Amino acid sequence: MMKKVLGRHEKHGAPDVSTSVLDAATTSAAGAAGAAIVVDHLRVVRGTRVVLPDMNLQIPAGQVVGLLGPSGGGKSTLMRAIVGVQVVESGTVTVLGEPAGSPALRRRVGYLTQAPSVYADLSVRANVAYFGRVVGVGADAVDRAIADVDLTDHADALVGNLSGGQWSRGNLACTLVGQPEVLVLDEPTVGLDPVLRRDLWEIFRRLAREGRTVLVSSHVMDEATRCDRLLLLRGGQILSDSTLPDLLARTGASDAEGAFLALIGQAAARDAASGVSGSDGQEGAA
Amino acid sequence: MNPRITLATAGRILQQLKGDRRTVALLLVVPCVLMGLLAWVFADSPMPVFDRIGASLLGAFPFVIMFIVTSIATLRERTSGTLERLLTTPLGKADFMLGYALAFGVVAILQALVASVFAVWVCGLDVAGPVWMLVVIALADALLGTALGLLASGFARTEFQAVQFMPAFVLPQFLLCGLLVERDQMPAVLSTVSDFLPLSYAVDAMQKVTTAVDPAIWGDIGVIALWVVGAVLLGSLTLRRRTP
């Protein structure tokens, strides 16, 4: 299975460090058949900076996958590439069997931007209703999305008058309303209190139980425990792609944060040993 | 393009405007105040200057105001991330552009009605042709402002830049459209340039309505319509689903 999945990569000559070497045992769980998102040799350059040098990745369907790592590591860029709004230099991103961003996907993929992108001068209900009409769902879906994020009591308040946490929940409701099969959520829980964060993670878990694929980015490491799989991104490279128990076993750490710090330390040491700094170092080492 | 999404977008923009009472009041009151001021300035003039300039200005207001309102509103969609989010949904670029054109078209009709009625019945603007034609020309002009505003906002990165596009796009047309000096009395080069600018046709049409009982405005409206279509097409090229 592994051979089949990675066969295309091999003809490029270089072994696939990002997934096969680090996590050979666990990667096969995300075989092509069950993958909702397949990233193949994705390279993204923003301005003069190489944000993603050469990314290969498979995200299994029906799971909550956490995209974790330090800021500036390429999390948002990867998400933008998956929803098809990022100019990519080379490589492909395939979502549900279609090229990322293709018209057929726009109803099936929901995107939550990092900054709350809703209309501050409209009520919560008006915002959700508008995004609902754009994807073609009715009033009951609007009510449900608002109830899901626990904003029913504030549905008629202007978004601009809400607190930061309510604002970002309103933002999330606009993504949930279309009931997309794949949800790409860029830091949906940032700045929220612990109770709300727990509630939102329960929603993500429920969405996955319904068979939806949920990709959630965060830089809060303790949220790792709520994910089925974890992706650790640093300097545009995937340091780890596995489940939390596998990650803990491999690093010998007691929690996600310790494991990530250990991996980041190893990566920095590899960079130093190969004599180059930053993300290019890993390419050199490979 | 999808009529449901276009209408939903236009409805959403109108809803935003409805919540902003002060903007609505400004949109309707400011043209009337300016019109009244202009009539007053020429009140003691022996020549019927207001009859000539008043109607032309009636055509220029909606153009200028809609240009500013649209370029700021679209820029807000870009900077707030709502545009990027919308472009990941089934919304087409044409839905976005036409949504704005429709919503501001409705505002323009209201504005043109109020300003025309005020100019004719309060300020005593003498119009030989039918008054409804003033509204039609003002509407065409407002759509022109919206279309050029959409286009201009594609080149603006900040609100400061967007506001600066007003003098850059609008004032040259304002100077050359025949409002200050009749177009055939300008130096030949400027007169030729003004033949290519859309606001000239709006002012021509307005002047025809004031002077002729049965004015032939449809040629002028056609030129404005071509500009609107061209600007919307060009503007939709500046809307990119994928950005660097």
Backbone angles phi, psi at A40, to 5 degrees: -125, 110
* Inter-chain CB proximity B82 and A117 less than 8 Å: yes
Chain A contacts of B90, Cβ < 8 Å? 103, 106-107, 134-136
> How far apart, in whole angstroms, are the C-alpha atoms of residue A232 and residue A236?
10
* Inter-chain CB proximity A126 and B12 less than 8 Å: yes
* Inter-chain CB proximity B242 and A113 less than 8 Å: no
* Contact residues, A window 9-48, toward B, CB-based 8 Å cutoff: 46-47
Mean pLDDT of A244-252: 90
Greatest CA separation for chain B: 61
Tokens coding B214? 């049965």
* Inter-chain CB proximity A119 and B5 less than 8 Å: no
* A84 and B CB contact within 8 Å: yes
**What kind and span of H or E run contains A67?**
strand A64-68
Q: Read off the pLDDT of residues A51-88 as tens digits, 9 standing for 90 and up.
A: 999 999 999 999 999 999 888 889 999 999 999 999 99
pLDDT of residue B161: 86
Chain A contacts of B82, Cβ < 8 Å? 117-119
* Inter-chain CB proximity B89 and A131 less than 8 Å: yes
Q: Read off the pLDDT of residues A187-245 as tens digits, 9 standing for 90 and up.
A: 998 878 888 888 889 999 999 999 999 999 987 877 888 899 999 998 899 988 999 99
* Inter-chain CB proximity A174 and B85 less than 8 Å: yes
Mean pLDDT of chain A: 83
pLDDT at A25 over 70: no
* Inter-chain CB proximity B241 and A130 less than 8 Å: no
Q: Answer whether A37's CB lies under 8 Å from A59's CB.
A: yes
Q: Answer whether A58's CB lies under 8 Å from A27's CB.
A: yes
Q: Read off the pLDDT of residues B78-129 as tens digits, 9 standing for 90 and up.
A: 888 899 899 999 998 889 988 988 898 898 888 888 988 898 888 888 888 8
**What residues does A45 pair with on adjacent strands?**
A50
Nearest residue to B140 (alpha-carbon basis) of B86, B82, B68, B198: B198
Q: Answer whether B87's CB lies under 8 Å from A84's CB.
A: no
Q: Answer whether A143's CB lies under 8 Å from B18's CB.
A: no
Which chain B residue is nearest to residue A183, measuring alpha carbons? B88
B208 DSSP assignment: H
Chain B contacts of A106, Cβ < 8 Å? 88-90
- What angle, rounded to 10 degrees, do the helices at B198-211 and B49-80 form? 140
**What residues does A110 pair with on adjacent strands?**
A183
Q: How confident is the model at residue B214 (pLDDT cuts 50, 70, 90)?
A: confident
* Inter-chain CB proximity B16 and A122 less than 8 Å: yes
Lowest mean pLDDT, pick from A74-88, B58-72, B221-235: B58-72
Q: Which of A84, A113, A178 sits opposite B241 (nearest CB)?
A: A84
> How far apart, in whole angstroms, are the C-alpha atoms of residue A143 and residue A274?
56
Contacts of B133 (CB under 8 A, 6+ apart): B205, B209, B215, B217
Contacts of B115 (CB under 8 A, 6+ apart): B31, B32, B35, B58, B61, B62, B138
Contacts of A8 (CB under 8 A, 6+ apart): A40
* B4 and A CB contact within 8 Å: yes
Measure A224 CA to nearest chain B CA, in Å.
26
Q: Answer whether B59's CB lies under 8 Å from B205's CB.
A: yes
The reported pTM is 0.83
Q: Answer whether B28's CB lies under 8 Å from B20's CB.
A: no
Q: Answer whether A80's CB lies under 8 Å from B244's CB.
A: no
* B81 and A CB contact within 8 Å: yes
Helix residue spans in chain A (DSSP H): 2-10, 22-27, 75-83, 124-135, 139-148, 164-176, 194-209, 244-251, 256-273, 279-285
Give the ipTM of the model, two decimals please.
Answer: 0.86
Q: Which of A113, A121, A136 sits opposite B20 (nearest CB)?
A: A121
> How far apart, in whole angstroms, are the C-alpha atoms of residue B181 and residue B184?
8
> How far apart, in whole angstroms, are the C-alpha atoms of residue B60 and residue B202?
8
Measure B176 CA to nearest chain A CA, in Å.
38
DSSP A200-267: HHHHHHHHHHTT-EEEEEES-GGGGGG-SEEEEEETTEEEEEE-HHHHHHHH--SSHHHHHHHHHHHH
- Tokens 């407002």 locate to B142
* A122 and B CB contact within 8 Å: yes
Contacts of A256 (CB under 8 A, 6+ apart): A68, A221, A222, A224, A225, A230, A244, A247, A248
The CATH class given to the A69-219 domain equals: alpha beta
